[in-house]
C-alpha cells in the first residue's frame, strides 16, 4: 500500500546537489570527457548500449559519466531516453556474414576460410596488473603491427558446415510472419525464438553468465563448442518508403557467437549438431557466448528434450533477465512503506500477545494439574 507522504523536499534537493558534487569528485582531478569514456572505457559503453538496447556511443558515455560508472544506472538512463524519441521503423536484418571482421575465432575448426584472427582480446593475457598504466604519462605506445590482408570473404563457420547436414540449418521461418517486439508488446508466454533472442540480447550479462554456467555444471545438459565468435562492423540499412530503396545508415559493431551442441537425436529430430545463437552490440564476447548457451537451453521443447533445470524455463529466464525491471522492483523497497509496516507491526504485536497468553495459560494449566 502506497500513501502520499509530504516532506523531505529540501532534503532531496540538497541530496541531489551533494550527489552532483560527489559525482564530480575532487576538483583538482580533471573532469572526464565523453570521448575519453567512449574511447578508453569502450567495453563499458558497449555493455550499456546492449543492455540499454540503444546503440549510441555518445549517449552511453554520457550515461556512464552521469551514473558515476554504475552501469545498471547508466542502462536505466538510456532506456528512459529512448522513450523520448520517435521510431522511424525497422532495419533490414544485418548481414553478419559480410561483417568487416576485427576478431574471429573458432574452437571447432582450426583451418577455415579466412582463418582465425585474434584481434583485440584479453585472452592469453596473464591478468597481471600493468603498473605502467598507473603512471601519469602512459608514454608512447608502439603502433600495432600490420600484415598483408586479402578481401577474401569470411563465411560463417555454421554456413560452411551446414551443407553436410551435420549441423542444423538456420530456421527459415515464415518470411511474412510478424517479428515480435518487446518494446511494443509486453512479454507473453510461450515466447517464440525471436522474442527470446530480443530479450536475451538486452538481458543482464551477469544473469545470463550465471545461467550459462549453471548449464555447464549439469543443470540441463549442454555440452557446447564455440563454433565461432566474430566481432566487427556490419552495415545497417533501412527501407525508406519515400525513397523506395534500402538506405545505408552507417555501420555498427556487433559480436556474434555460434555455439554448437551435441545432440543425440529424439523422436522429433535426427542426431546432428544443434546450435545456440548470440548477437550483441559492441565487443561483449562473454555475454554473446552466454546468450548462445541460454538460447540453446531454451530450445528443449522444440528438440524434444527433457526439462530439468532453471536455464530451460523460459518464464523464469525471460522474466528475470532484464536488469532494469529487476532493479526497479528490488530498489522500490527503499520507498516509504510506513503504513504497510505499521499494519504488520500491529499484527505482530497482537500475535505475540496471543502467543504469550497461550504460553502463560498453558503454564498455569500445567501447574494446576500438578497440584
Partner 1 sequence: MTSPAASESRSSTDMDRKAAMAVLAQTRPEDLAKAYSSLPVAPDYDFVRPPETGLVMVRGRTGGSGQPFNLGEATVTRCVVRLAGGQTGHAYVLGRHKTKAVHAAVCDALWQCETSRPLVMASVLQPLKTRQEAEAARLAAETAATKVDFFTMVRGDD
297 Cβ neighbours under 8 A, 6+ residues apart = 211, 215, 220, 222, 276, 309, 311, 312
- Measure the CA–CA gap between 143 and 139, rounded to whole angstroms: 12
Q: How far apart are CA 156 and CA 149, in angstroms?
A: 18
CB of 288 to partner 1, least distance (A): 11
Please state, in angstroms and rounded to a whole number, the distance separating the CA atoms of residues 154 and 104.
Answer: 9
Cβ proximity to partner 1, 214 vs 298, nearer residue? 298
Shortest distance in whole angstroms from residue 232 CB to partner 1 = 8
Nearer of residues 219 and 272 to partner 1, judged by Cβ: 272
- Residue 202 or residue 214: which is nearer to partner 1 going by CB? 202
Cβ count near 168 (within 10 Å): 18
We find the least distance from the C-beta atom of residue 108 to partner 1, in angstroms, to be 14
Phi, psi of 138 (to 5 degrees): -75, -15
Give the start-end residues of each E strand in 6-52: none
From CA 231, how far away is CA 117, in angstroms rounded?
A: 10
- Comparing CA positions, the residue from 23, 83, 20, 88 lying closest to residue 52 is 83
Cell of 363: 503454564
Q: 215 near 294, Cβ under 8 Å? A: yes
Distance, CA of 71 to CA of 94 (rounded, Å): 27
Query: Least separation, in Å, of the C-beta of 135 and partner 1?
Result: 25
Choice between 140 and 151, CB closer to partner 1? 151
Report, in Å, the least distance between residue 309 CB and partner 1: 23
Cβ 182 to partner 1 shortest distance, Å: 7
Alpha-carbon gap, residue 133 to 136, rounded angstroms: 8
Q: Which residue has the cell 546432428?
A: 272
Q: At closest approach, how far in Å is the CB of 196 from partner 1?
A: 8
* 222: nearest Cα among 105, 309, 106: 309
Query: Measured from the CB atom, is 87 or 126 closer to partner 1?
Result: 87
Q: Which residue's CB is nearer to partner 1, number 49 or number 71?
A: 49
Pick the closer one to partner 1 by CB: 241 or 371: 241
Q: Which is nearer to partner 1, 158 or 312 (CB)?
A: 158
Min. distance of Cβ 26 from partner 1 in angstroms?
31
Name the packing angle between helices 57-66 and 71-82 (round to 10°).
130
Amino acid at each position: 500500500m502506497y500513501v502520499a507522504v509530504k516532506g523531505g523536499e529540501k532534503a532531496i534537493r540538497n541530496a541531489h546537489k551533494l550527489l552532483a558534487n560527489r559525482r564530480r569528485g575532487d576538483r583538482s582531478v580533471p573532469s572526464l570527457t565523453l570521448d575519453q569514456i567512449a574511447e578508453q572505457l569502450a567495453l563499458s559503453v558497449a555493455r550499456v548500449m546492449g543492455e540499454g538496447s540503444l546503440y549510441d556511443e555518445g549517449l552511453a558515455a554520457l550515461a556512464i559519466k552521469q551514473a558515476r560508472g554504475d552501469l545498471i544506472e547508466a542502462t536505466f538512463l538510456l532506456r528512459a531516453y529512448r522513450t523520448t524519441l520517435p521510431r522511424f521503423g525497422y532495419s533490414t536484418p544485418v548481414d553478419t556474414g559480410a561483417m568487416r571482421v576485427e576478431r574471429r575465432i573458432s574452437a571447432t575448426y582450426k583451418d577455415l576460410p579466412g582463418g582465425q584472427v585474434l584481434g583485440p582480446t584479453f585472452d592469453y593475457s596473464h591478468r597481471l596488473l600493468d603498473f605502467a598504466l598507473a603512471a601519469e604519462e602512459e608514454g608512447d605506445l608502439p603502433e600495432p603491427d600490420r600484415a598483408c590482408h586479402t578481401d577474401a570473404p569470411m563465411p560463417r563457420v555454421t554456413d560452411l558446415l551446414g551443407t553436410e547436414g551435420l549441423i542444423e540449418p538456420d530456421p527459415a521461418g515464415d518470411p511474412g510472419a510478424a517479428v515480435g517486439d518487446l518494446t511494443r508488446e509486453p512479454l507473453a508466454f510461450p515466447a517464440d525464438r525471436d522474442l527470446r533472442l530480443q530479450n536475451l540480447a538486452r538481458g543482464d550479462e551477469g544473469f545470463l553468465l550465471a545461467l550459462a554456467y549453471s548449464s555447464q555444471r549439469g543443470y540441463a545438459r549442454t555440452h557446447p563448442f564455440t563454433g565461432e565468435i566474430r566481432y566487427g562492423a556490419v552495415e545497417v540499412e533501412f527501407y525508406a518508403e519515400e525513397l523506395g530503396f534500402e538506405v545505408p545508415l552507417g555501420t555498427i559493431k556487433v559480436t556474434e557467437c555460434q555455439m554448437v551442441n551435441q545432440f543425440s537425436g529424439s523422436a522429433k529430430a535426427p542426431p546432428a549438431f544443434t546450435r545456440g545463437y548470440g548477437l550483441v552490440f559492441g565487443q561483449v564476447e562473454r555475454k554473446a557466448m552466454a546468450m548462445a548457451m541460454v538460447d540453446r537451453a531454451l530450445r528443449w521443447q522444440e528438440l524434444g528434450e527433457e526439462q530439468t533445470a532453471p536455464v530451460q524455463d523460459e518464464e523464469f529466464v525471460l522474466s528475470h533477465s532484464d536488469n532494469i525491471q529487476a532493479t526497479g522492483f528490488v530498489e522500490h523497497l527503499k520507498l516509504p512503506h510506513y503504513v504497510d509496516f505499521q499494519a504488520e507491526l500491529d499484527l505482530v504485536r497482537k500475535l505475540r500477545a496471543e502467543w504469550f497468553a497461550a504460553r502463560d495459560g498453558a503454564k498455569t494449566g500445567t501447574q494446576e494439574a500438578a497440584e
